[in-house]
Each structure stands twice: as C-alpha cells, then as structure tokens.
Chain A
C-alpha cells in the first residue's frame, strides 16, 4: 500500500476515500473480505453502487487518523457477537433455539440446521442464525465446561 491514497471521515461520519488517481469517493463502504478467518486484513472499499474502489491489505500500515476512520466505519457495520456462555440449546420444531451470553449481552436466536455451526479450523466456530447473523466462538476451549458440553453435541 502506497501512501498515494487517503481515508478520512466526513462531517456526517461517512468514510471518504481518495484513490491513488486522486478521485474522491464519498460514502465508501469498507468490507472485510475474510470476515471470519482474517478479519483484520484485506479490507475492500466499495462505493455506493457496490463497485470496488480500493483495497487495503494491511490496515496497520495506515496512518493513525486513517486507521481510526476505517475502524469507525467498520465498527458501524460490524455485528458479529462473540459467544461467551451457552445457557441452553433446545430442539425446536425446525432446528434449534439457543440462549447465549455474548460480548454484546445475552440473547436468543434460532438456527435451522446442522450446517449452521461451522468450524473455521482449529477450535474456532461460527454459528449462523436464521437471520444470517453470525455468532463467533473464537476458541471453544475458552468456553466454560457446561457451554462446551452443550456445543459438543452439534459439531
């Protein structure tokens, strides 16, 4: 990444991207290319019509201000709760109902089938509910014993 581009936040809190050619793109959407396996690298920047206007491989090489702008923009669209405790997994008519505590507080959700629980390699798991929200378990070993037992039946 050369320094030939710039990232900033405009007054209404939207991300502005100036590409190496000098073109200014308002209201740019940052998108993680590998949201589950490599969330902190490979950020694609897309304009309002969904066209890619830039790509940031390693955000840590950005300047402090740019990084903050990017982080803020990402945080706004980022919603991947991290599961801390699993209280209950109950079989429902079609799928399962989960009661969990996440880093964003306690919640309930439903999954439709066994494919909803996906291993991301090693002890990393993601659970996708019926509304397409992703719940991340960064490391199964970090869960408490009870939660682990409950999860074990499903992978």
Chain B
C-alpha cells in the first residue's frame, strides 16, 4: 500500500512539534488515546488474525473532533473509539459479511460508509486531509476481501495461510523505525565496526595514559620533594632523573595516543556522515514528485548539507571526548576512593550537583537546537528562492523586499541561537564555579587530613591534580552536551527524510518489459489531489506510433494526464495500461527508459553540451550524440560555441537561449530513441522563428513513436493523428483538426481565440 503523503507529512509535523516538548510534557493527549485505542483493538485479535491496515478517524457524528480507529485485520473490520465516559466502545464485522465500504466526500470532511445488505450499517468520519489515506484503506479492504472470498472455498487455508506475513511495522501508515536518533546514528557506523572498536580502544588507552602523571606526582612529592626540603633523608639524584624521564614518557605516550585517537575518530566520522549524505540523497531521488512539490528546496539542502555537518562534528570531536571523559570519571573516582575515601567524598561532592544541572540544561538545549536547525533551513529556503529568481527580483525592483526577507530569516536564526546561547553561557561558567568549589573543598579537607597525618602531602598533591582534571573534563562535557543535542536534532531531521517511504513503491511492479510497443490506454482513470478531483474519468486508447495532441484551457488536466503516463503519480481509480499491462505492475525504471520528455522549460544540468545530450544514455558514442544534435537542428549552433560540444552550459543552461536549450533537450530525448514521447508545451516559451526551427526538430522526433503532445500553439499539433480536447478533467471532444473545427465546439473556440491573438 502506498504511503499517504498527508499522513507522512502529518507524522513529520507531529514529530517535529512534539519532539522538543516530549521530555517535559507527560505525553501528548492525542497520541496517548490513539495508542490506547490501538492496544484495545489488538488485545481483541484472535490468534490467527493479523492487522493489515488501520485508519484513524477524526470526527464523531456531530462533526466534533473525536479520535477513533478502524482496523482492517485479515478476518475482520474493527472499530474502536472512546465514549464520553472514557470507556472504549468496540465493534467488529467479519469481512465476508461486509457488502462494501464506500467513501463519500462531503466538502471538508468525508465519510466511510459500511454497507451491509444494501443498507448503511455504520459510518466513520474523517477530515479531507485523510481522504487519500481512507482511499488506500478501502483498497486494502477490497483486496483482503477478495483474498478471503477466494479462500473461503478452502476454509482450511484461511486459518494458517496468512502466517508469517508482515506485521504492523510494514504498514505504510507507520513512520518507519523509531528510537533515539543518536542510537540510530550508531547503526550508520556499523560498517566501520573495526574503526569504531579501534577508536574506542585508543580512547581507553589515552585515558589510562592521562592517569599516569598525577600518579607519578604523588610519589615524586612524597619520596623526593619532601625529603629534599626537610633534608632528613638523602635522596639520590637518580630518582629525580627517573621521575623526569617517566613524566616525559607519559606525556609523549598521551600525545601519541591522543593523535592516533583523533585521527581514527575523524576518519570514522567522515565516513559515517558521507554515508548519511549519500543515503539521504539517494532516498530523495526515490521519492515521488509529490514530495518535492511539498518540500522547500532550501530545507532539503540544509538537511543534507549542514545537518550532516553537525553530526560529523559531533562524532569526530565530542562523542569520543565524552566517552573518554566518562571513562576518566570512573577511573578517577576509583583511584580517589582507593587512595583515601574521605578525601574522595569531599572532592566528588559537587559532582551530583553538576549531574543535576546537566540534566536540566539538556532539555532546554535540545528544543533550542531543533529550532535553530529549522531557522537555518528557512534561511536556506530564502536563498534558493531568491538567487535563481534574481532576474525577476531585479525586474520588479524588489531587491529591498528580498533583503528584508533575508533579514527576517537571519534574525530568526540569530534569535534562536541567542536563546540557546543564553542557556549554555550560564552553564559553562557555572561548571567553573563548581570546579573551584571542588578544589577549595579538597584543599581544606586535605589540609586537615595532612595535619592529622591521615594522608601524605604527595597524596594531596595527586588529588589536586586529579580533581583539577576531573572538573576540567566536566567543562568539556558541557560542550559535549550542546553538541550532542545539536547532533541529535540534526540526526532527527535527517531521519525524518529517510523515514518517508516512497509513495510510489518501485518494488511493487516487478515486471520487466524492455522496449514497449507504445500502446497506452487510460481506462476509467480518476485522480484526486487531496480533496480536489483533478481527473474525473478519462477513457482513451492511444495506438502505437500515434501522435495525439492534448488541448484545452489551463487546469483542464492535460499535464496530469502526461504525469500519469510517465507514472509520476498513480491513479486514484481506474488504470493506465501500457501494451495491455497495468502500469503499476511494471518496473518503474524499466518503463521510464522508454520515455522521452521535452518540457516547456528545458532543464539542463551543469556540464558540457555533450554530457547534457547524453544525459539519458551516458554510454552514447560521439557519433550518436552528433547525430541526435543534427536531427534536433542543434549541431550548427553548438559548433558556434567556444568549445563546440565540450562547451559548458552553465547552471540551468543560462548561457544558451531558450530555443537553443530546447533543441538540446530535444536532442537529449532523441538520443534515447524513446518509444513514448511526451511534449509538454515544448514550443510555447520561444518566438515564432525559433518555434519553426524547433518544429522541424520535433517533426523528426515524433516519427514512428507514440507521442502525447500538449500545446497551446495549435500549430505544433498539425501532425497529430487525433486531437483530444479536455476540459475540467474530462475529455470533451476527439477528432482531427478539421473535424473539430467543423464541430464548432470547445476546440473551435480555442482555435478562434488563438487566431485572434496571432493575427492581431
């Protein structure tokens, strides 16, 4: 079942909003009740029953917000909802008894009707945001009912046939694996297990080495310095040299281990974040157009860019530091207690206070960093908006407005960071104060102990050394805290992207078809975007090699038809058949290899002209590239470029004119020799002279291929076998140019309007 974008988005929003506050609020009321409902329902499942899908309902009969849930199991349909007196009402129907589930749209809400024996048995109400989800639920229901019906003949199978199936977690409505982002981060490091272990061992060794110096100091003071000063004993100078040598050795060892540790860990961090960036980007590439339409580019860029950077910094510097600090802590506490419990207790006294402080500040920081990351995204969004659109900005003299917009976004970052800084600018000096307190306590208790001969001066010196390091480490732990919370917020933002499941599951269609003949059939196709019905029932069969032209006013659904043919979306109802096979059963990538797409605004990538022409077929030979360019009437102007085919086109092809870019994109489509060609307003962005050139190129392109062309300039369609006139999501007329003109319907009107414009 495809993931419902609304649902996914809702989840994202939910997690974004409640994540930050989760620590302080007991639990959010709505999630709580949903969970409770779910538990109730699951408690009632029989042993051979499993959950297949669930649908959250939002409203009661009087359209007040009221949570409920419909659950589709392998055998039954369950309905749970909370009643007024906080009980839970529960109903169930056997799937085989249910005649039908029908979705009724009622403006801003929708109802799911359970029909039994021709009558309305029960109804659930949802908000329109959930309509697609409800649709999918209905589809799952019908599928399960079909399975049951075919199985009911052999009842035996129904009892054990479903065993071992996937569990709730595989349900598309769940949001994927959960768990602390930082723990999940560790999983990303698993392929470099050995580096991880090595880093850890080096850290251990480094901590050990750090312990040596204070240890030696104790001996040095007691056995060398004090005897020297009191001159009661004679100390051989050899001892001094020995201590000096040991101290130097310990310093060098610490330095070397520190170096090795830092190197290994930085290496690990780079690998983990690179994998993260890669996987996030790869995942993005698999997501559907719908997702990209909803997301802001700048936000995605900052997730892949700066959020991974935070994580890298965290792993390479702070995580390992924290690890070694914690180890240091315990080792130190051990040594201190062993040497002198009394002094140890005095010295470590302020530590619990620090612990408490750390915990208090942590929750503050996490919310703050999440907000800072979001603010950063918002600023990136402004940048990705304004920089590519700079021509429009200048043309309308709106520089100041954009400056203000940027300033607002920047101020937002500034403010959120200010808030975070306020918290931890207090925190770090506080730690320092506690360090001093710890030291004073040690001196005081130590002086007392020395006076009473409980300890030697050497031990006290050693203690002071240890404690000094101890609290010094506490300060770095406070830094860890900030960076851990920042990394956690960042990791969360990245996992948010990774957890979005492609709502066009690539793996559901496994059928490899190779090259198609090019027969496309739309069979009772309907499509809904949210609550809007975009396509209201299209039946159309396109023969192999036929060229059809789609005409009609803007918003008639022409581009949507093309998007369906490309399988950028899936139909809500009906089917698109390719060579007689449902498009959903075909491997998407395999299918798209048959597609040639020429768009109104041809998108060229940064690279040379040759690379752009060969975009769909990177292994194309130079002869093929040249042939395609010649056929697209692009060869001549390409040779006028300073580097011929090796010329860079610049970002989005800005160095070429619109017509030139279009001809390169035609060459690009030609090169892959597509079986199905889509021309989406290919000529509307250029002047008539260029249009003629492009037209020549196009004529070459359409020969012998199934072509679907959208055009406002009806001249582009003169070669079309059939013109399909669309209006408001429906086909209103079909026929050739002449027939349609004679019919004097919508087409005749459009034609008339165009003639008036061009011949004025």
Do A and B come from the same complex?
yes
Neighbouring B residues of A38 by C-beta, 8 Å: 622
> Whole-angstrom distance between the alpha carbons of A36 and B640 in the complex?
15
Whether, in the assembled complex, B107 has its beta carbon less than 8 Å from a beta carbon of chain A, the answer is no
Q: Decide yes or no: A52 and B635 within 8 Å by CB, A41-B622, A42-B626 being known contacts.
A: yes
> Whole-angstrom distance between the alpha carbons of A51 and B637 in the complex?
10
Task: Return B621 CB to nearest CB of chain A, in Å.
Answer: 11
Neighbouring A residues of B25 by C-beta, 8 Å: none
Whether, in the assembled complex, B610 has its beta carbon less than 8 Å from a beta carbon of chain A, the answer is yes
Whether, in the assembled complex, A68 has its beta carbon less than 8 Å from a beta carbon of chain B, the answer is no
Whether, in the assembled complex, B623 has its beta carbon less than 8 Å from a beta carbon of chain A, the answer is yes
Task: Return B662 CB to nearest CB of chain A, in Å.
Answer: 21
Whether, in the assembled complex, A34 has its beta carbon less than 8 Å from a beta carbon of chain B, the answer is yes
Q: Verify B642–A37 contact, CB threshold 8 A.
A: no
Neighbouring A residues of B650 by C-beta, 8 Å: 115
> Whole-angstrom distance between the alpha carbons of A132 and B641 in the complex?
11
Task: Return A45 CB to nearest CB of chain B, in Å.
Answer: 11
Whether, in the assembled complex, B279 has its beta carbon less than 8 Å from a beta carbon of chain A, the answer is no
Q: Verify B645–A34 contact, CB threshold 8 A.
A: yes
> Whole-angstrom distance between the alpha carbons of A57 and B621 in the complex?
12
Q: B-facing mask of A141-155, CB < 8 A → 1, else 0?
A: 000000000000000
Q: Which chain B residue lies CB-closest to A31?
A: B639
> Whole-angstrom distance between the alpha carbons of A38 and B646 in the complex?
9
SS of B interface (majority): helix
> Interface size for chain A: under 10, 10 to 19, 20 to 34, or 35 or more residues?
20 to 34
Q: Which chain B residue lies CB-closest to A118?
A: B648
Neighbouring A residues of B643 by C-beta, 8 Å: 35-36, 134
- Say which residue of B636, B638, B640, B646 sits within 8 Å of A37 (CB atoms): B646
Neighbouring A residues of B639 by C-beta, 8 Å: 31, 33, 44, 46, 52
Neighbouring B residues of A37 by C-beta, 8 Å: 608, 610, 646
In A50-100, the 8 Å CB interface with B consists of 50-52, 55, 57
Q: Verify A33–B648 contact, CB threshold 8 A.
A: no
Q: Decide yes or no: A34 and B610 within 8 Å by CB, A42-B622, A115-B648, A132-B642 being known contacts.
A: yes
Whether, in the assembled complex, A14 has its beta carbon less than 8 Å from a beta carbon of chain B, the answer is no
- Say which residue of A35, A51, A57, A118 sits within 8 Å of B644 (CB atoms): A35
Q: Verify A33–B636 contact, CB threshold 8 A.
A: no
Q: A-facing mask of B616-653, CB < 8 A → 1, else 0?
A: 00000011001000000001101110111110101000
Q: Verify A34–B642 contact, CB threshold 8 A.
A: no
Task: Return B267 CB to nearest CB of chain A, in Å.
Answer: 20
Task: Return A34 CB to nearest CB of chain B, in Å.
Answer: 5
Q: Verify B644–A31 contact, CB threshold 8 A.
A: yes
Whether, in the assembled complex, A32 has its beta carbon less than 8 Å from a beta carbon of chain B, the answer is yes
Q: B-facing mask of A109-131, CB < 8 A → 1, else 0?
A: 00000010010100000000000
In B553-599, the 8 Å CB interface with A consists of none
Q: Verify A33–B640 contact, CB threshold 8 A.
A: no
Neighbouring A residues of B640 by C-beta, 8 Å: 50
> Whole-angstrom distance between the alpha carbons of A33 and B642 in the complex?
10
Neighbouring A residues of B648 by C-beta, 8 Å: 115, 118
Task: Return B386 CB to nearest CB of chain A, in Å.
Answer: 19
Neighbouring B residues of A35 by C-beta, 8 Å: 643-644, 646
Q: Which chain B residue lies CB-closest to A46?
A: B639
Q: Verify B623–A33 contact, CB threshold 8 A.
A: no
Neighbouring A residues of B626 by C-beta, 8 Å: 33, 42, 55
Q: Verify A50–B644 contact, CB threshold 8 A.
A: no
Q: Which of B623, B638, B639, B642 has the most CB of A within 10 A?
A: B639
> Whole-angstrom distance between the alpha carbons of A55 and B639 in the complex?
12
Q: Verify B636–A34 contact, CB threshold 8 A.
A: no
> Whole-angstrom distance between the alpha carbons of A42 and B608 in the complex?
16
Neighbouring B residues of A52 by C-beta, 8 Å: 635-636, 639
Task: Return A150 CB to nearest CB of chain B, in Å.
Answer: 23
> Whole-angstrom distance between the alpha carbons of A35 and B623 in the complex?
15
Q: Verify A32–B622 contact, CB threshold 8 A.
A: no
Q: Which of A33, A50, A57 has the most CB of B within 10 A?
A: A33
Q: Decide yes or no: A50 and B636 within 8 Å by CB, A37-B610, A38-B622, A41-B622 being known contacts.
A: yes
Q: Which of B610, B623, B645 has the most CB of A within 10 A?
A: B645
Neighbouring B residues of A36 by C-beta, 8 Å: 643, 646
> Whole-angstrom distance between the alpha carbons of A124 and B404 in the complex?
44
Q: Verify B636–A32 contact, CB threshold 8 A.
A: no
> Whole-angstrom distance between the alpha carbons of A50 and B641 in the complex?
12
Q: Which chain A residue lies CB-closest to B606?
A: A115
Task: Return A100 CB to nearest CB of chain B, in Å.
Answer: 20
Neighbouring B residues of A50 by C-beta, 8 Å: 636, 640
Q: Which chain B residue lies CB-closest to A32?
A: B644
Task: Return A29 CB to nearest CB of chain B, in Å.
Answer: 10
> Whole-angstrom distance between the alpha carbons of A37 and B622 in the complex?
11
> Whole-angstrom distance between the alpha carbons of A134 and B648 in the complex?
13
Q: Which of A42, A51, A134 has the most CB of B within 10 A?
A: A42
Q: Verify B635–A34 contact, CB threshold 8 A.
A: no
In B362-394, the 8 Å CB interface with A consists of none
Q: Which of B610, B626, B640, B644 has the most CB of A within 10 A?
A: B644
Neighbouring A residues of B610 by C-beta, 8 Å: 34, 37
A–B pairs, 28, beta carbons within 8 Å: A31-B644, A32-B644, A33-B622, A33-B626, A33-B644, A34-B610, A34-B622, A34-B644, A34-B646, A35-B643, A35-B646, A36-B643, A37-B610, A37-B646, A41-B622, A42-B626, A44-B639, A50-B636, A51-B636, A52-B635, A52-B636, A52-B639, A57-B623, A115-B648, A115-B650, A120-B646, A132-B642, A134-B643
Additional A-B contacts beyond A34-B610, A52-B635, A120-B646 (19; CB < 8 A): A33-B622, A33-B639, A33-B645, A34-B644, A35-B643, A35-B646, A36-B643, A37-B646, A38-B622, A42-B622, A44-B644, A50-B640, A51-B636, A52-B636, A52-B639, A55-B626, A115-B648, A115-B650, A134-B643
In the A-B complex, list the 7 residue pairs whose CB atoms are closest, starting with the nearest: A36-B646, A33-B644, A33-B645, A34-B645, A34-B646, A37-B646, A35-B643
